[in-house]
Amino acid sequence: MTDPDDVPDTYLSRLRAICGALPETQEQPAWIGTRWRVRQKTIAHVYMREDGCVVTFRSPGDEIAGLLAGGPPFAKAEWGTDVVVMTLSDDTDWEEVAELLTESYRVQAPKRLAQHL
Protein backbone atom coordinates (compact mmCIF):
# COMPACT_ATOMS: atom_id res chain seq x y z
CA MET A 1 0.00 0.00 0.00
CA THR A 2 1.21 3.51 -0.85
CA ASP A 3 1.73 5.92 2.04
CA PRO A 4 -0.12 9.15 1.14
CA ASP A 5 2.51 11.20 2.94
CA ASP A 6 5.41 9.83 0.86
CA VAL A 7 5.23 12.49 -1.83
CA PRO A 8 8.59 12.58 -3.63
CA ASP A 9 10.79 15.50 -2.59
CA THR A 10 11.23 16.57 -6.21
CA TYR A 11 7.47 17.18 -6.53
CA LEU A 12 7.21 18.86 -3.13
CA SER A 13 10.10 21.20 -3.95
CA ARG A 14 8.54 22.30 -7.22
CA LEU A 15 5.10 22.78 -5.66
CA ARG A 16 6.59 24.71 -2.74
CA ALA A 17 8.29 27.09 -5.16
CA ILE A 18 5.08 27.66 -7.12
CA CYS A 19 2.69 27.99 -4.19
CA GLY A 20 5.14 29.85 -1.96
CA ALA A 21 5.29 32.65 -4.52
CA LEU A 22 1.55 33.33 -4.21
CA PRO A 23 0.53 36.05 -1.71
CA GLU A 24 -0.31 34.87 1.82
CA THR A 25 -0.20 31.18 0.89
CA GLN A 26 0.56 28.75 3.70
CA GLU A 27 1.79 25.16 3.46
CA GLN A 28 0.17 22.72 5.87
CA PRO A 29 0.15 18.99 6.46
CA ALA A 30 -3.25 17.66 5.39
CA TRP A 31 -5.11 14.53 6.49
CA ILE A 32 -3.02 12.95 3.72
CA GLY A 33 -0.14 14.60 1.95
CA THR A 34 0.46 18.35 1.94
CA ARG A 35 -1.79 21.25 1.05
CA TRP A 36 -1.37 24.95 0.35
CA ARG A 37 -4.03 27.38 1.46
CA VAL A 38 -4.87 31.04 1.20
CA ARG A 39 -6.78 32.03 4.30
CA GLN A 40 -8.93 28.93 4.91
CA LYS A 41 -9.28 27.82 1.29
CA THR A 42 -7.14 25.12 -0.29
CA ILE A 43 -5.51 26.01 -3.59
CA ALA A 44 -3.46 22.82 -4.05
CA HIS A 45 -3.21 19.43 -2.34
CA VAL A 46 -0.57 16.83 -3.21
CA TYR A 47 -0.63 13.21 -2.05
CA MET A 48 0.11 9.66 -3.10
CA ARG A 49 -2.51 7.25 -4.43
CA GLU A 50 -2.18 3.64 -5.54
CA ASP A 51 -1.69 4.86 -9.12
CA GLY A 52 0.92 7.54 -8.31
CA CYS A 53 1.33 11.08 -7.07
CA VAL A 54 -1.48 13.57 -7.70
CA VAL A 55 -2.14 17.22 -7.09
CA THR A 56 -5.67 18.56 -6.83
CA PHE A 57 -6.59 22.16 -7.51
CA ARG A 58 -9.53 24.42 -8.31
CA SER A 59 -10.21 25.46 -11.87
CA PRO A 60 -12.50 28.14 -13.29
CA GLY A 61 -15.66 26.51 -14.67
CA ASP A 62 -14.92 27.48 -18.26
CA GLU A 63 -11.52 25.74 -18.19
CA ILE A 64 -12.47 22.42 -16.59
CA ALA A 65 -13.97 20.91 -19.75
CA GLY A 66 -10.83 21.68 -21.74
CA LEU A 67 -8.56 20.06 -19.16
CA LEU A 68 -10.71 16.96 -18.87
CA ALA A 69 -11.23 16.57 -22.63
CA GLY A 70 -7.56 15.70 -23.10
CA GLY A 71 -7.74 12.87 -20.58
CA PRO A 72 -4.65 11.96 -18.57
CA PRO A 73 -2.93 13.45 -16.71
CA PHE A 74 -6.21 15.24 -15.82
CA ALA A 75 -9.34 13.80 -14.22
CA LYS A 76 -12.37 15.10 -12.36
CA ALA A 77 -12.18 14.83 -8.59
CA GLU A 78 -14.89 12.87 -6.81
CA TRP A 79 -15.77 15.98 -4.77
CA GLY A 80 -16.40 19.61 -5.57
CA THR A 81 -17.71 20.93 -8.86
CA ASP A 82 -14.49 22.76 -9.72
CA VAL A 83 -11.81 20.35 -8.45
CA VAL A 84 -9.39 18.76 -10.93
CA VAL A 85 -6.89 15.97 -10.25
CA MET A 86 -3.58 15.96 -12.10
CA THR A 87 -1.25 12.95 -11.98
CA LEU A 88 2.38 14.03 -11.66
CA SER A 89 5.17 12.22 -13.51
CA ASP A 90 8.64 12.68 -14.98
CA ASP A 91 6.88 14.22 -18.01
CA THR A 92 4.95 16.84 -16.04
CA ASP A 93 5.03 20.30 -17.60
CA TRP A 94 5.84 22.43 -14.54
CA GLU A 95 5.12 25.69 -16.34
CA GLU A 96 1.60 24.40 -16.93
CA VAL A 97 1.35 23.38 -13.26
CA ALA A 98 2.39 26.90 -12.25
CA GLU A 99 -0.32 28.39 -14.48
CA LEU A 100 -2.97 25.99 -13.17
CA LEU A 101 -2.11 26.61 -9.53
CA THR A 102 -2.07 30.37 -10.11
CA GLU A 103 -5.58 30.04 -11.56
CA SER A 104 -6.58 27.93 -8.55
CA TYR A 105 -5.30 30.73 -6.33
CA ARG A 106 -7.40 33.26 -8.27
CA VAL A 107 -10.48 31.06 -7.75
CA GLN A 108 -9.90 30.68 -4.01
CA ALA A 109 -8.24 33.90 -2.85
CA PRO A 110 -10.09 37.03 -1.78
CA LYS A 111 -10.31 39.45 -4.70
CA ARG A 112 -7.99 41.88 -2.93
CA LEU A 113 -5.20 39.29 -2.91
CA ALA A 114 -5.93 37.83 -6.34
CA GLN A 115 -5.57 41.24 -7.98
CA HIS A 116 -1.86 41.26 -6.99
CA LEU A 117 -1.06 38.54 -9.52
Query: pLDDT for 33-57, tens place per residue?
Result: 999 999 999 999 999 999 899 999 9
Rounded average pLDDT over 95-104: 97
At residue 69's C-alpha, the angle toward residues 66 and 70, to 5°, is 100
**What single-letter DSSP state applies at residue 52?**
E
Of the candidates 37, 16, 15, which has an alpha carbon nearest to the alpha carbon of residue 28? 37
pTM of the complete model: 0.91
Question: Residue 73: is its pLDDT beyond 50?
Answer: yes
* 1 is a domain residue: no
- What DSSP element (H or E) covers 108? helix 94-108
Question: Residue 99: is its pLDDT beyond 80?
Answer: yes
Residue 61: the pLDDT is: 82
Q: How far is CA 82 from the centre of its chain?
A: 12
CA pair distance 91, 88, nearest whole angstrom: 8
Instruction: For residue 54, give the CATH number of its domain.
Output: 3.90.1150.30
- Find the domain containing 26 and state its range: 9-114
Q: What does the pLDDT look like over 9-39, one tens digit per residue?
A: 999 999 999 999 999 999 999 999 999 999 9
Please tell me the total count of domains within the chain.
Answer: 1
